[in-house]
Amino acid sequence: MSKLSTSVAADVDDNVRPDQVTFLQALKLWFKLGFIGFGGPAAQISLMHRELVEQRRWISERRFLHALNYCMLLPGPEAQQLATYMGWLMHRTKGGIAAGALFVLPSLFFLIALSWLYIAYGHVPLIAGLFYGIKPAITAVVVHAVHRIGSRALKNNLMWAIAAASFVAIFAMNVPFPIIVATAALLGYLGGRYIPHKFTVGGGHGESNKSYGPALIDDDTPTPVHAQFRWSGLMKILMVGGMLWCVPMAFLTLRFGWDHTLTQMGWFFTKAALLTFGGAYAVLPYIYQGAIGHYNWLTPTQMIDGLALGEANPGPLIMVVAFVGFVGAYVQSVFGPDMQFVAGTTAAILVTWFTFLPSFIFILAGGPLVESTHGNLKFTAPLTGITAAVVGVILNLAVFFAYHVLWPQGFTGVFDWVAALMAVVAAVALVRYKRNVIHVIAVSAVTGLILKLLVT
């Protein structure tokens, strides 16, 4: 396909196909989306749909949803992967890398700054008051995620049973998250073979006949040559991707040793990147199991605060990993007491690299291959089982957050009924009245600050 370029949809007749889009024009849009992509994956996907499908008509409704369904079948942040996919489809590999990177970089820079302010000045009454209000809201946000994903995934009794079993496994028996994912995938594979009607409820977004006018990449536009599957192309991407992982990991191991904090962060977040079926909330339990329970990089309270910063930031919610890396390296002073900020910044960049590298490889290498299997039950049924299990895992995360917010000193301490009331109000606003997450967090933060000022 030739290079694509456009003008704003308002300047183009609804019945006329948009002009070609240059790489620079596309670059400006991805840069813009990276700075205004607040509100989590649903809001970010809606924003991309409005910009790409409705206003600019760079891609048709069906082609957009087809790409989205593919991204939702992969581990990793689907909104960032969708941006990568769109950039790749229009401008080959360089377009995919630019779109995916610009979707992440603004969030990384903001989180480094916010993480430093938090760890250096979090004890200041102003900051403490804001976080007192934010924590109950974050608990409500996780409850909302359980409701949102559960309503989509738990369409029959078997899906409910898988979700319940995953909750019991991680809550009561502390079963590692990867084992839960593997078991759910196996159940999905077997179910797809023997009871397929139970596993046809996966979380795709379906198809649509809606049209906003002729699109540059329309329903009948032939697949570009670079997007067609070739074994040579697949092997090239896998080899380059493997080198991009191996070289920094080898450097960390040789320079610091395998047991060093930075090396273990690289390895841990690589595994996390491969387990994020169901979005960021699905992998958060795995992160807190490792980052808090195993490595002691941060405390439960810091984890909740980090999620709050991630929610209030543009870009994928999984960028909370940058906060985890920053705090872990900063507190442990991995470069010495005089270089804590440098250590935190280095760790934040490293964990972002190891977390998002697999997503680029999945899109650039697997796009042409996996698209051909979309709708194949043998491929989608294991992912349907994983999605159901993810609901139970996220419910456990909600319980974990509620415990640390409502009983800040443990069950032997005093129950914080004010925080409980704020959590209930925030949950009602999100679930019942569909309020924006950022608005709920902002109101809760101001409320917490006012309450703290009144007490003092």
State yes or no: pLDDT of 96 exceeds 90. yes
Nearest to 400 by CA among 288, 287, 310: 288
Per-residue pLDDT, 156: 92
Same domain, 295 and 344: yes
State yes or no: pLDDT of 12 exceeds 90. no
From 56, 88, 105, give the residue that closes a domain: 105
Q: Could you read off the pLDDT of 16-29 as tens digits, one per residue?
A: 777 788 999 999 99
pLDDT grade, residue 312 (50/70/90)?
confident
Same domain, 354 and 425: yes
- From the centroid of its chain, how far is CA 132? 25
CA distance 208 to 227: 22
Same domain, 338 and 308: yes
Q: Is 210 part of any domain? A: no
The DSSP symbol for 260 reads S
**Residue 86 structural domain:** 9-105
Per-residue pLDDT, 206: 45
pLDDT grade, residue 205 (50/70/90)?
very low
Structurally, the chain folds into a number of domains equal to: 2
Beta-bridged to residue 217, according to DSSP, are: 59
Nearest to 70 by CA among 360, 367, 388, 449: 367
Q: Could you read off the pLDDT of 164-175 as tens digits, one per residue?
A: 999 999 889 988
CA distance 282 to 273: 11
Per-residue pLDDT, 38: 65
CA distance 377 to 190: 11
State yes or no: pLDDT of 6 exceeds 50. no
Main-chain phi, psi angles of 217, to 5 degrees: -105, 95
Residues in CB range of 319: below 8 A, 6 or more apart: 104, 107, 108, 111, 310, 313, 352
Per-residue pLDDT, 191: 93
Q: Is 335 part of any domain? A: yes
Tell if the pTM clears 0.85, that is, is over it. no
Q: Could you read off the pLDDT of 109-142 as tens digits, one per residue?
A: 999 998 998 888 876 777 778 888 888 988 888 8
Look up residue 6 and give its two tokens: 């456009």
Per-residue pLDDT, 86: 92
Nearest to 118 by CA among 298, 284, 333: 298
The DSSP symbol for 20 reads P
From 89, 105, 121, give the residue that closes a domain: 105
Q: Could you read off the pLDDT of 317-371 as tens digits, one per residue?
A: 788 899 999 999 999 999 999 999 999 999 999 999 999 999 999 999 877 775 5
Same domain, 90 and 110: no
Same domain, 258 and 403: yes
Q: Is 212 part of any domain? A: no
Per-residue pLDDT, 8: 42
Same domain, 110 and 187: yes
Main-chain phi, psi angles of 5, to 5 degrees: -150, 165
Query: Residue holding tokens 């895992």?
Result: 393
Helix 320-332 with 340-371: angle, nearest 10 deg: 150
Same domain, 171 and 237: yes
Per-residue pLDDT, 397: 77
Percent of the chain past pLDDT 90, that is, above it, reads 36
Look up residue 349 and give its two tokens: 């960049």
